Amino acid sequence: MPDGIELASDGTLSGTATEIGDFTFTVEVTDGLGDTATEKLTLTVNYATITVSTSSLGSFTAGTEVTSSTLTASGGDEDDGYTFSILTGSLPTGLEMADDGTITGTSTEVGSSVIGLVAEDSLGYSGILITTITVASADVTVSASDLDDGTAGDSVSATFSASGGYDDGGYTYTVSSSTVPTGLTFSTTGTLSGTLEEVGTFSFIVTVEDDYGSTGSESFEVTVSSATLTISDTALASATAGSTYSTTLSATGGSDTYTYALATGSELPAGLELASGVISGTPTAVGCYSFTINVTDSYGSTGVSTLYLEVQEATLTVSATLGTATANTAYSASFSTTGGSGTYTYSLDSGTMPTGLTLSNDGKLTGTPTHVGTSTFTVAVEDSNNSTASAEFALTVVSADLTISPSSLPTATLNSAYSVTFVATGGNGDYDYKLGGADLPDGLSFSGTTLSGTPTTAGSTELTMTVTDTNGSHASISLTLVVSALPDPTEDA
């Protein structure tokens, strides 16, 4: 019989065969009466069937230490245990197997290894298992701090962190899908920083990997809103019609680089324009104006503000040197204006100018005054931008100087005809002649402008001739009338 197999007297064949092969032997049986019988038998001993099992190994995770994970086997000589070995392939990096099938160590690489395992019993029988040992990725999670929705132009410094996996060697971070907000930079150390430069909603996936290849991913979303932009001063400094004007706009919110534009349908006061954030020009119309300005920063944020600008009248000053006018004499004077701009238009605002004078639109006062006296009147002026001013003036019209001729009287001769006619020049209008003083010598009389007659009394008489014109101007001269008894020897006969 095979070694290890025994036949008991009760006919039991038992034991553990230690040989392989066909064994022929003869068995004799004897009953109680002593009768016997024999039989030739053949026992075939085959190789033992040993089955290797990995059911008790459990799972392997990269970065996780394995302290007790043992292969098992069945079949063959189970009493004395098994010796395990690797026939083909190799265990995942970081793991090793003892002869008793115990696997220990820390796997350092995610992946699968195809391996041939052998279990051998004490009799030398063995079983082989071709299997795959898989090292799974550790459960790695990603989170972020200080990652919030923001406004274009804001500075961002967010930090991503991971947990799980093998953390002694640190983690490597990557953006694996879509893109981070414009203006931000993502580093492999897990920092997202920069300045938000574009309005919109940005979705991206951050993947973290530990030193053993375990990974984890998480989706993140950041919404970048438009900054609220406003123009700082909505009530602009007032302008003066006809004068150069310039003011620079300024805005708050968003970035520090702004572009300004006049909103559709909005208009600046005539004469002004907007360029590079400066409203400038020469306004031409007085009034209070409102207009809408759009402001945009370098990140695309926008704002709308209504601005107010008052264009005031220019300060005009009208003046003239009028002097004194003379009745019945051509007169001319000009008004002038300072302040304002463009063409000035003059007009009589109130009062009355001297008769015979007129004021033209260009400020010339001309004509021939006909009445003596002082006239008070107000002259108004308006420039091209409708700015106005007025001033009061007074002009005095005087009479022309009156002269009387002759200035002395010729000598009269007693009992001889005598006649002198007085003539006045200067002044205005008709003249009124009056001869006063002592009584005229007998035989003489004054009528109209003539002193005439035949004197009958010799002697000397003091007289006064006074002439008054229509405007009341007058002139007087003193005269001496001599009536000689004899002809004047100095005069021709």
DSSP 236: P
- CA–chain centroid gap for 226, Å, is 12
Residue with tokens 């001729």: 405
Q: How confident is the model at residue 203 (pLDDT cuts 50, 70, 90)?
A: very high
User: Does the structure show a pLDDT above 90 at 400?
Assistant: no
Mean pLDDT of the chain: 89
Distances (CA, A) of 212 to 62, 102, 119: 6, 22, 30
Beta bridge partners, 378, equal 350, 392
* DSSP per-residue string spanning 74-85: ESS--TT-EEEE
Here the tokens at position 173 are: 């971070």
User: Does the structure show a pLDDT above 50 at 297?
Assistant: yes
Residue with tokens 């308006």: 382
Mean pLDDT along residues 348-356: 96
Q: What span, in angstroms and rounded, lies between the C-alpha atoms of 366 and 428?
A: 19
Buried b (16+ CB within 10 A) or exposed e, 296-318: bbebbbbbebebebbbebbebeb
Range with top average pLDDT, 7-11, 60-64, 362-366: 362-366
Residues whose CB is less than 8 angstroms from the CB of residue 218 and which lie 6 or more positions away in sequence, other chains included: 141, 142, 143, 205, 206
- pLDDT tens digits, one per residue of 224-251: 998 889 998 899 999 998 889 999 999 9
User: Does the structure show a pLDDT above 80 at 4?
Assistant: no
Evaluate whether 51-136 and 141-225 have a shared fold: yes
User: Does the structure show a pLDDT above 60 at 2?
Assistant: yes
Domain 403-484, CATH number (from 3.50.50.60, 2.60.40.10, 3.40.50.2300, 3.40.50.720)? 2.60.40.10
- CB burial class (10 A; 0-12, 13-18, 19+) of residue 323? exposed
Closest CA to 116 of 79, 152, 89: 89
| Model pLDDT, residue 278 | 97
Q: What span, in angstroms and rounded, lies between the C-alpha atoms of 492 and 388?
A: 74
| Model pLDDT, residue 137 | 81
Mean pLDDT along residues 464-474: 86
Please compute, for residue 466, the number of CA atoms within 13 A of its CA located in the half-sphere on the CB side. Answer: 9
* Paired sense of beta strands 412-413 and 444-447, if any: unpaired
Percent of the chain beyond pLDDT 70?
Answer: 97
Q: What does the domain layout of the chain look like in residue ranges?
A: 5-45, 51-136, 141-225, 230-311, 317-398, 403-484
Mean pLDDT along residues 440-445: 96
CATH superfamily of 141-225: Immunoglobulins (2.60.40.10)
Residue 339: left if φ>0, alpha if ψ -120 to 50, beta else—which one? left
| Model pLDDT, residue 86 | 95
Domain 51-136 has CATH 2.60.40.10: yes
Fold of 230-311: Immunoglobulin-like (2.60.40)
Mean pLDDT along residues 461-477: 89
Query: What H or E segment, with its residue span, contains residue 203?
Result: strand 200-209
| Model pLDDT, residue 416 | 96
| Model pLDDT, residue 483 | 97
- pLDDT tens digits, one per residue of 402-430: 899 999 999 999 999 999 999 998 877 78
- pLDDT tens digits, one per residue of 149-177: 988 888 999 999 998 877 666 789 999 76
May I ask the CATH class of domain 317-398?
Answer: mainly beta
- CA–chain centroid gap for 302, Å, is 7
| Model pLDDT, residue 493 | 46
R_g of the chain computed on alpha carbons: 68
* DSSP per-residue string spanning 116-141: EEEEEETTS-EEEEEEEEEEEPP--E
Distances (CA, A) of 371 to 346, 359, 433: 24, 17, 20
Question: Of the ranges 50-59, 189-198, 322-331, which one carries the lowest mean pLDDT score?
Answer: 50-59
Mean pLDDT along residues 68-86: 87
Largest CA distance in the chain: 243
| Model pLDDT, residue 55 | 82
